[in-house]
């Protein structure tokens, strides 16, 4: 169909929409964790035990919450885009492992796995023309 053939010209607009949508959702999802304080960070950071890291759970929890919140902002702006995607991939790996450890299986972990795959793809594609990182 002719309408779909011309959409290729709007690749950068598509990347902007993906960045905006994912960034907003990560801020919405991450900010309550960030605002949860030390008690919340400790619980969140306790997830690192799944990969053998059982020290400084408050630090790791804060880092996860900050990655979701500020990583979402960096996605929207398109600033430090690839490093932000790397941090978000790591966060999604831990989130998927948490679901697997709870016995949720692939269906429970699917959202984190899917987002991790999206971030891997975005690392290769880059933020697009409408970003602070544009070249």
| 79-85 mean pLDDT | 97
Number of H helices, E strands in the chain: 6, 0
* pLDDT number for residue 114: 97
The CA distance from 95 to 131, in Å, is 28
* pLDDT number for residue 135: 63
* pLDDT number for residue 118: 98
pTM of the model: 0.92
Cα angle: 67, vertex 110, 94; to 5 degrees? 40
The mean of the pLDDT values for the chain is 94
The string of pLDDT tens digits covering residues 14-72 is: 999 999 999 999 999 999 999 999 999 999 999 999 989 999 999 999 999 999 999 99
């Amino acid at each position: 169909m002719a309408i779909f053939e011309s959409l290729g010209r709007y690749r950068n607009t598509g990347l902007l929409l993906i960045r905006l949508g994912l960034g907003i959702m990560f801020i919405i999802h991450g900010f309550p964790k960030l605002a949860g304080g030390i008690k919340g960070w400790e619980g969140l950071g306790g997830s690192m035990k799944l990969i053998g890291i059982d020290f400084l759970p408050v630090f790791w929890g804060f880092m996860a919450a900050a990655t979701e919140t500020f990583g979402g902002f960096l996605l929207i702006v398109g600033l430090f885009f690839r490093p932000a995607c790397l941090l978000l991939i790591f966060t999604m790996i831990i989130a998927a492992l948490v679901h697997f450890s709870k016995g949720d299986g692939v269906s429970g972990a699917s959202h984190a796995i899917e987002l991790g795959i999206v971030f891997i793809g975005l690392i290769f594609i880059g933020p697009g023309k409408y970003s602070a990182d544009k070249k």
